[in-house]
Structure 1
């Protein structure tokens, strides 16, 4: 893959990319890191550096739910009111686990991209350092009116995945992060991944950086909830995401039937883009061409694709707000 590395190096230098790139295909595995995990101390990113991946970890929540479904503790048709005891005065009683997983529940989102341009706006009235558990998110949306009818068209929704995380906690008896650590990360061999608190990060964890309007950089510690949650924010090493996908597709996290159900397209988002229980996928002539995971937060940029036909997996983790897509697209242009 020497030619691939040379061409990725070129684009990485052009865009001042900071992060780690991991590529796995029939020719082998390549991992390359760029930039700094700590700019002030000039500590470089390495292959085992841990990065926040924002919404890229919604798939962990989906798998946790599917595991509990296989145990008979909940079902895709279980309603929100059957699972949780919290008061949602305006929520439709017909909202199901299926609706929440597929972003078709119509519940109001605590970060509505139609109304807010900047994620940092959320923490003016509710300081981010108060958000340390899933229930801490509830005041941000539980008393709001429905955004759309249940079962309506796809509308990306973070609050729905907070509710799914609360369901995991209710029916499993575990704190959500502890459940995922035990039943997903450990099973998949993801030794460098976890749900961490931003004011207590472990070693080898990259700070997320936001470019300031006047030049220079600041960390994202005042831009995100202090602890990652069931809608996003887990920290992973790039190679851990490849290990995770191997564990998933080799049926080590779920049964084969449930894995197939998790990975199938369900809701059409765009012409050839669908959403299932496990993120986005490109579908052409009723065949899944590639699976897509992505995540964006201030100071966080993550992209992942897997091509089932060729077993090509590309993981790009960045500790800046931009750059992951550009690197991913260049690798796709070279290898596809």
Structure 2
């Protein structure tokens, strides 16, 4: 799905439904906005059920302050407007109250983003704004002050979080990733002490580049490949709905009978994954016009070394990841079913 081709009103409805559906805000809480090329701000309304928004509920605010719509703009509109004025590079803003991030805001702490390599890059610098009354001028000033420091994610004491980005999907990606970090840290702290990655490993992750591959045009698509694409997309979406994947994290590949394999693309929303998004890899060649996951080479080497393996999944399931970010070992012998399916689960050092 090309999210950028959707009208601002449709983007706002789609993302708010998604945020509400996954329990990341309340019926009355949270607001989204987009600043378009004309200087108009499209924003979700105030005092309207966030679980049942439709296109007609979205408000358009002109540069001169004229309001177009059947509702009043969100009470947090002054915050959005002030951020846009202070940061011309920001074109979309997300504000919500996910329970895990609210918990961190109450104790005045920022979630640890160094638990998984590229999460630091996705979230960027995160700060906390001092408390002020929701919808007040004081709050808009305090939040904007943090954005003016170069932060794109600002938590609010005893409130929630504001995220700004060049488009709404990127704002959601940062928001979802920070929320994942918060949930993972809360759960991991129940079984042991978390072990953040060192600055060296974070730096190496940032410098990681896509492997250069020659391209081929996939002119002929077999029935086997079509079926594999369909099944993969169904499972990828299912994994996202079960919160085993995030919007951009989680890699799925499947080997075809000719030795080639299909793999998820880089930086494509897992929830809306379509058959045409998947990338076919043939030897050292990739399908033309697409960017495969940065772990494509790893998948290729596993397939080459293990001819009995025909599918690989890399996921960040939050409860399993609690063992990955602490010193605790995962014991699959706790119940018969887990041992029958998993056998012994090995833990290898980061690298």
Give me the TM-score of the superposition, normalised by structure 1.
Answer: 0.23
Q: Whose radius of gyration is greater, 1 or 2? A: 2
Q: Which of the two has greater helix per residue?
A: 2
Q: Which has the higher contact order (CA 8 A, sep 6+)?
A: 1
Give me the TM-score of the superposition, normalised by structure 2.
Answer: 0.22
